């Protein structure tokens, strides 16, 4: 039996209860009830109009799965290889900052849940816990570190070196957040958790950042927050700056935020090791193109030279099938596991990931495909 069959068996035959809602819509609704309004909208809202938050998910409806019959799918291989390591599922936990506003244990609970399932967790620069402590909470070592490149490049270099020393396996550079997007709900709520000391743990524990302060953060947190606000993001970055980053680490470097095939080609020309097709869940640019719509042309431009991952809009197993069929090597999931975290901490994250993967496994098998490679061939119809 496959992963999805095992999950169904536990639910139907062993009467294993779901501790959180199974459907994404109900999951989000319950999380909204459970969270403070400011914290909920910090996760749920987007740049632009309220409808922009749904553009990514609506875009998946343009694609329909075309099942094939009488194929042996009794044994299904869900594993993929990324940067020399085989992982059991084509799924990673997207980097999400300030998880402490969602649950007291924040990213520590999330990485434990991901680790138990063998899923790589991408630890955010904007975490409340320092990256070393986050990695120590994991049972496995297949996790990645996400970098927000600050105006002080020595701080960026320091974080990359710390991540490599801590055992992270790849560096994910977020390109689309050289400054914060115009997020109406956050503006209305006058809410930026970093200014309250949330989500800056990696900075507070960084030796280069601390060297820029007259007093350590423990003695003067206001000055530390002021320094953070002054260096976060760098809109002057160009492709040429990637050479500096490459000189700081031996780890694979993955660029997150690519939405144009020409940028994908630029990434290859500059020696990058992977690409994540992403619009930051719609949080940076209003009316931004859905990631799933540009995935095929970016995958075509890359032509298998490096892994092409995708996020922004993954809510169900069928979404995973569609993204993989359109050229993704693997996908990242974000908001759903945050809502699981809000409702039940580590166990909530685990159940969100479990349900998503069970749905994916069964959908792939019922469509007549027993491996991810088989999804590449005429698995979808665009409507």
Rounded to 5°, angle at Cα 12 from 11 and 17? 35
Residue-wise pLDDT tens digits, 119-174: 999 999 999 999 999 999 999 999 999 999 999 999 999 999 999 999 999 999 99
pLDDT of residue 17: 78
158 is in an annotated binding site: no
CB contact set of 157 (below 8 Å; sequence gap of 6+): 208, 244, 245, 248
Helix count and strand count (H, E) for the chain: 16, 12
327 is in an annotated binding site: no
Structure tokens at 205: 């524990």
315 is in an annotated binding site: yes
Asked if the model's pLDDT at residue 377 lies above 80, the reply is: no
Residue-wise pLDDT tens digits, 80-116: 999 999 999 999 999 999 999 999 999 999 999 999 9
pLDDT of residue 53: 76
Of the listed 103, 143, 260, 280, which one is catalytic?
280
Residue-wise pLDDT tens digits, 12-36: 887 777 899 999 999 999 999 999 9
Instruction: Report how far residue 100's alpha carbon sits from residue 130's, in angstroms, rounded to the nearest whole number.
Output: 12
Structure tokens at 214: 């007259």
- The answer to whether residue 14 is catalytic is no
Residue-wise pLDDT tens digits, 206-243: 999 999 999 999 999 999 999 999 999 999 999 999 99
Instruction: Report how far residue 135's alpha carbon sits from residue 383's, in angstroms, rounded to the nearest whole number.
Output: 43
Residue-wise pLDDT tens digits, 329-347: 999 999 999 999 999 999 9
For the chain, domain boundaries: 3-71+88-369
Instruction: State the pLDDT confidence band at 323, using cuts at 50, 70 and 90.
Output: very high
42 is in an annotated binding site: yes
| CATH C-level class of 3-71+88-369 | alpha beta
pLDDT of residue 31: 99
pLDDT of residue 201: 98
CB 307 within 8 A of CB 51: no
């Amino acid at each position: 039996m496959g992963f999805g069959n095992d999950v169904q068996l536990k639910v139907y035959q062993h009467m294993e209860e779901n501790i959180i809602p199974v459907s994404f819509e109900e999951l989000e609704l319950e999380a909204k009830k459970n969270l403070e309004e400011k914290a909920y909208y910090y996760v749920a809202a987007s740049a632009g109009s309220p409808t922009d938050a749904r553009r990514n998910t609506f875009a998946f409806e343009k694609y329909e799965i075309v099942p094939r019959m009488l194929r042996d799918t009794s044994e299904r291989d869900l594993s993929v290889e990324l940067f020399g390591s085989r992982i059991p599922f084509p799924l990673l936990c997207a980097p999400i900052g300030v998880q402490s506003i969602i649950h007291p244990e924040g990213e520590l609970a999330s990485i434990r849940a991901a680790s138990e399932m063998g899923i790589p967790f991408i630890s955010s620069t904007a975490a409340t816990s320092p990256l070393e402590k986050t990695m120590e909470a994991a049972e496995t070592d297949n996790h990645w570190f996400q970098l927000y490149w600050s105006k002080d490049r020595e701080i960026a270099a320091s974080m990359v070196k710390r991540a490599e020393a801590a055992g992270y396996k790849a560096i994910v550079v977020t390109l689309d957040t050289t400054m914060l997007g115009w997020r109406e709900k956050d503006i209305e709520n006058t809410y930026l958790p970093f200014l309250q000391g949330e989500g800056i743990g990696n900075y507070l524990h960084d030796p280069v950042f601390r060297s820029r302060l007259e007093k350590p953060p423990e003695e003067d947190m206001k000055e530390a927050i002021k320094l953070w606000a002054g260096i976060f993001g760098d809109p002057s970055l160009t492709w040429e700056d990637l050479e500096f980053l490459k000189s700081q680490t031996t780890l694979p470097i993955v660029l997150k935020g690519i939405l144009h095939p020409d940028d994908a080609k630029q990434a290859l020309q500059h020696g990058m090791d992977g690409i994540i097709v992403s619009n930051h869940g719609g949080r940076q640019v209003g009316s931004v193109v859905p990631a799933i719509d540009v995935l095929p042309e970016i995958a075509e431009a890359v032509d298998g030279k490096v892994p092409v991952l995708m996020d922004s809009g993954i809510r169900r197993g069928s979404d995973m099938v569609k993204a993989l069929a359109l050229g993704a090597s693997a996908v990242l999931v974000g908001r759903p596991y945050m809502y699981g975290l809000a409702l039940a901490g580590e166990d909530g994250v685990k159940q969100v990931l479990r349900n998503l993967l069970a749905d994916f496994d069964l959908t792939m098998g019922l469509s007549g495909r027993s491996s991810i490679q088989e999804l590449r061939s005429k698995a979808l119809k665009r409507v």
